[in-house]
Structure 1
């Protein structure tokens, strides 16, 4: 039995989220469904189960999510190399908008979720977009399009500074989410607001201002990033003041969050899951270098 840590990307538009879709949700699949099917086609003798490090919702994208799984080959064959795992699973994923980027063979007690040291998300915003045809196709469903031609970015940065550090983020978690089970006190290590760019700007007919909000923490509450983004954009649009943002944080009450402010899912990207290098070390063992799928 060999445990693998994989890193993978996906465009989340058509998926119900990264984790498996519940059986009662017909015609919906999560990214996990497709990766597990790809692993199953390698014909392991053990049950296939993918443990994802970072949950993302329907419509949210990832440039680097991670997960671990175990794989035991038939007839005591040696483990696949990391390169074979990447190539074989990408082949098996076919035309799905999911791709493995790299893999590690890790110790059998490694856990993708609990060994993660931090996670980073980036939220992309495009300004001056009154109709979706004003966006390059490469950015469609991959940013939040606002009709505003400008935001008060300095006020947004002032409000963002209030959120950095260790706080009770109850006001920024979704209503009816794991309130009884998850500690709302989190440490937000980074919240930066910087100029961004369009994926297809160089070949488009007009200049579009893009902004990127980047968040880094060991973990986040359910919908915390989208709710923080929505509140910061409200500050930028002068719908909330910096002092009101402070009051919202200090309220520590999910019901204090104003209705209609949550940023849409399609502008959000999970960009990095960080691990200690020492956690990824594994003494080299004999491994299979062929690409057979038996």
Structure 2
């Protein structure tokens, strides 16, 4: 018998259209609530006896191909090796929906924290602009733009914005929360159908940051503002309305990057240290 006294790592994905985000909402369906209810059923535990922590909290309507969360179970809870192997299948069945897919369940390595052990998060955003061939099968995952967007200018913006900065101008404020993040990658390509796909990677994102970044890129791609205009707004460190926050449905969390298992605990400690603009 394998004694589970701390945590499980669970990898999953979801189509976010029907959910009001990851986090539990008082009167609306959420991904977290659905998974916690299913865990309670399968493990025969009161939901109050365990806790889940996610790598990246997604907003209402945002999708995920590779979300990660951990669950802390009661110290006296026992799970056989066979039960652990069966848990993904049983959890999927208890969910009662294919809008959430359970990919993998395993005992978490020592020091693992789904949120704080992560090195980075990577998102994609899809825009079918005037130059793109519209695919009706992708309407839940792409935003249609009536304009022809200049991806070269949008990529110039992406390069100009990289690095460690205060992103308060791009984030919805949260009390006592830092808005300092390191943007590691922000680039655009067109796929075979001409759909614009942004790849956005950072150590972490504050609320609405990715969709605001994409909104600024769309404004630059339309020629409404310049790359320098966006950089100046960022330095003002105050939320503005010079570009829209893009719709949620075009956004998908595609990966969470972690260090080797031996470095998980130290990475969690490093991440918990409050970010400053003098950080390495």
Length-normalised TM-score, structure 1: 0.80
Matched position secondary structure for 2:50: coil
Distance in 2 between the 1:275 and 1:85 partners? 23
Matched with 1:152 is 150
Per-residue deviation, residues 201-227 of structure 1 (Å, max 9, x unmatched): xxxxxxx42011111111111100000
Instruction: State whether residues 19 and 52 of structure 1, in contact with CA within 8 Å, keep that contact through their aligned partners in structure 2.
Output: no
Secondary structure of residue in 2 paired with 1:235: helix
Poorly superposed stretches of 4+, deviation over 2 Å: 43-46, 70-83, 107-110, 134-138
Q: Which runs of 5+ in 2 are unaligned?
A: 265-280
- Look up the match of 1:285: none
* Unpaired runs of at least 5, structure 1: 198-207, 282-294
Q: Which residue of 2 is the match for residue 54 of structure 1?
A: 56
Query: Are the structure 2 counterparts of residues 51 and 30 from structure 1 closer, same or farther at C-alpha, using a change threshold of 3 Å?
Result: same
User: Do 1:44 and 1:74's aligned partners in 2 also have CA atoms closer than 8 Å?
Assistant: no
CA displacement at 1:104 relative to structure 2: 2.4
Match of 1:196 among 187, 191, 199: 191
Cα shift at 1:83? 3.2
The CA RMSD over aligned residues, in Å, is 2.5
Cα pair 2:8 2:106 within 8 Å, conserved? yes
Residue 266 of structure 1: SS of its match in structure 2? helix
Q: Report Cα offsets for 1:7-33 as digits up to 9, x if no partner.
A: 111010010101111x2x3xx110011
Question: Alpha carbons of 1:239 and 1:224: their partners in 2 closer, same or farther (altered >3 Å)?
Answer: same
Equivalent residue for 1:161? 159
Which residue number in structure 1 is paired with residue 39 of structure 2? 39
Per the alignment, residue 253 of structure 1 pairs with 238
Q: State how far apart, in whole Å, the 1-side matches of 2:233 and 2:59 are.
A: 24
What pairs up with 1:113-192 in 2 under 5 angstroms? 113-128=115-130, 135-148=134-147, 150-174=148-172, 177-178=173-174, 180-192=175-187
Q: Is 1:16 aligned to residue 20 of structure 2?
A: yes
Q: For 1:103, what is the secondary structure of its paired residue? A: strand
Mark the CA change 1:102 to 1:280 in structure 2 (over 3 Å): closer, same or farther.
Answer: farther
SS, match of residue 42 in structure 1 = helix
Decide whether the 8 Å contact of 2:124 with 2:200 is kept in 1. yes
Give the match for residue 215 of structure 2: 230
Name the count of aligned residue pairs: 258
Q: 1:13 to 1:129 in 2, by over 3 A?
A: farther
Q: 1:105 to 1:253 in 2, by over 3 A?
A: same
For the pair shown, the structure with the greater C-alpha radius of gyration is: 1
TM-score (norm 2): 0.84
Pairing 1:200-215 to 2, within 5 Å after superposition:
208-215=193-200
SS at match of 2:17: helix
CA distance in 1, matches of 2:77, 2:115: 31
Match of 2:268 in 1: none
Cα distance between partner residues in 2 of 1:228 and 1:62: 18
1:6 aligned counterpart, secondary structure: strand
Find the residue that maps to 1:50 and give its secondary structure: strand
Corresponding residue for residue 242 of structure 1: 227
> Is the Cα contact below 8 Å between 2:88 and 2:104 reproduced in 1?
yes
